[in-house]
C-alpha cells in the first residue's frame, strides 16, 4: 500500500464533497464523497488512474441509484393536515341560511363557522364540508332537515 499523489487528490476530493454536502443539506454530493473514498482506497494499492476513475464513477453511480430515493423519502417532511383541514368531509348543521349569493353560518362540533355554498341551504339542514378557506367553510347539501 503506497500513498501517492493520486491518493492525495482523492482525499482532497473526498473532503471537498463532504464540505459541499455539509453546506447544502440536499444530498447533492454525498454519493461522490463515497465514490472518492472508494477511489482513494484503490489508489493506495497502486492501481492505475483509469481504474481509479472507473471505481469512482461506478461506486458514485451505484450509491446514487440505490439510495437517493430512500434517503429523500426519509428527509422530506410529511405534510401534516391542520385542524381546519381535518373538517373536510364532516357534517355540519346550518344555523343561518346559506345561498349562492350570500354567506350564512353553520355549526360544526359546537363551533359556529361562516359558510358559503353553491346550494341554497335552510336553517336546520345538514351539510357536508367540502373545503376550508381560513375561517370560512364551503359546504354542500347533504340531507333533509332534522325533525
Q: Tell me if 80 is assigned to some domain.
A: no
Q: Tell me if 63 is assigned to some domain.
A: yes
pTM of the predicted protein model: 0.50
Q: What is the pLDDT of residue 143?
A: 59
Q: Domain range spanning residue 9?
A: 5-75
| Structural domain count, the chain | 2
Q: What is the pLDDT of residue 46?
A: 85
Which positions of the chain have pLDDT values less than 70? 1-3, 75, 79, 81-83, 143-147
Q: What is the pLDDT of residue 134?
A: 85
Pull the grid cell for residue 58. Answer: 461506478
Whether residues 67 and 99 share a domain: the answer is no
Whether residues 59 and 89 share a domain: the answer is no
How does strand 104-108 pair with strand 91-96?
antiparallel
**How many Å apart are CA 144 and CA 88, to the nearest integer?**
20
Amino acid at each position: 500500500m503506497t500513498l501517492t499523489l493520486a491518493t492525495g487528490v482523492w482525499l482532497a476530493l473526498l473532503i471537498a464533497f463532504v464540505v459541499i454536502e455539509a453546506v447544502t443539506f440536499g444530498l447533492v454530493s454525498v454519493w461522490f464523497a463515497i465514490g472518492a473514498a472508494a477511489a482513494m482506497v484503490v489508489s493506495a494499492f497502486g492501481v492505475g488512474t483509469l481504474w481509479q476513475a472507473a471505481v469512482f464513477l461506478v461506486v458514485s453511480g451505484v450509491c446514487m441509484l440505490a439510495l437517493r430515493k430512500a434517503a429523500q423519502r426519509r428527509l422530506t417532511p410529511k405534510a401534516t393536515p391542520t385542524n381546519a383541514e381535518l373538517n373536510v368531509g364532516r357534517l355540519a348543521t346550518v344555523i343561518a341560511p346559506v345561498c349562492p349569493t350570500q354567506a350564512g353560518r353553520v355549526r360544526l362540533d359546537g363551533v359556529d363557522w361562516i359558510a358559503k355554498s353553491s346550494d341554497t341551504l335552510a336553517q336546520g339542514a345538514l351539510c357536508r364540508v367540502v373545503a376550508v378557506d381560513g375561517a370560512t367553510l364551503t359546504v354542500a347539501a347533504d340531507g333533509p332537515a332534522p325533525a
